[in-house]
Amino acid sequence: MKVILTKDLSTLGKTGEIKTVKPGYGRNYLLPKKLAQLATAGVIKNWQLGEKQRLERRAKQLETAKASVKKMAGTVLSFTRTVGENGQLFGSVGKADILKSLKASGLEADKDSIVLTAPIKTVGDTDVTLSLVQGAEAVIKIRIVPKST
């Protein structure tokens, strides 16, 4: 099944690329979530006609994302959590906690832009990458302080 990607997918490709995918993946995941369209002749022609507008829109997004990256540079988010004897947290700091703290700091980010392979469960400083758009990434520091009892 041939599809045109309507959104950037890290595992598949960039917006506007024509990809061949398995029919089940296309029918059950990509098409219902509007991540892709069937690559028919008419759709391909429309995509080619709208290429200029998409490039201009992407350039504007990249420009605003780079401005956000400059604002986020050097940002340190501090969290206070209860800690056990071995230094492990009771609970963790995840994407939702980071997003909430970013918004409280006056910074804008999307939950999907936070690159966190697993929730943070240790005391200390951890660097977390925010991938705002392709080509604009910010690194912020997450500091977890043990709660004094």
- The structural domains of the chain, with segments of one domain joined by +, span 2-49, 68-146
CA dihedral of 34, 40, 45, 47, whole degrees rounded to 10: 20
pLDDT number for residue 143: 92
50 pLDDT higher than 80: yes
pLDDT number for residue 22: 95
pTM flag (> 0.75) = no
Inter-residue contact 7 to 15 (CB < 8 Å): yes
Question: Which residues 6+ apart lie within 8 Å of 79 measured at CB?
Answer: 93, 97, 101, 142, 143, 144, 145
- Phi, psi torsion values for 141, nearest 5 degrees: -105, 130
Q: pLDDT by residue (tens digit) across 63-104?
A: 888 888 888 888 899 998 888 877 778 888 889 999 999 889
Q: Classify residue 30 by burial, with Cβ atoms within 10 Å: 0-12, 13-18, 19+.
A: buried
Inter-residue contact 13 to 19 (CB < 8 Å): yes
- pLDDT bin (cut points 50, 70, 90) of residue 149 is low
Inter-residue contact 79 to 105 (CB < 8 Å): no
**Rounded (10°) angle between helices 41-49 and 51-72:** 60
- pLDDT bin (cut points 50, 70, 90) of residue 148 is low
For domain 2-49, the CATH class is alpha beta
pLDDT: which is higher, 68 or 149:
68
Inter-residue contact 93 to 114 (CB < 8 Å): no
β-strand pairing of 136-146 with 76-81: parallel
48 pLDDT higher than 90: no
20 pLDDT higher than 80: yes
Mean pLDDT of 33-49: 90
Q: Which CATH architecture has domain 68-146?
A: Roll (3.10)
Mean pLDDT over all residues of the chain?
Answer: 87
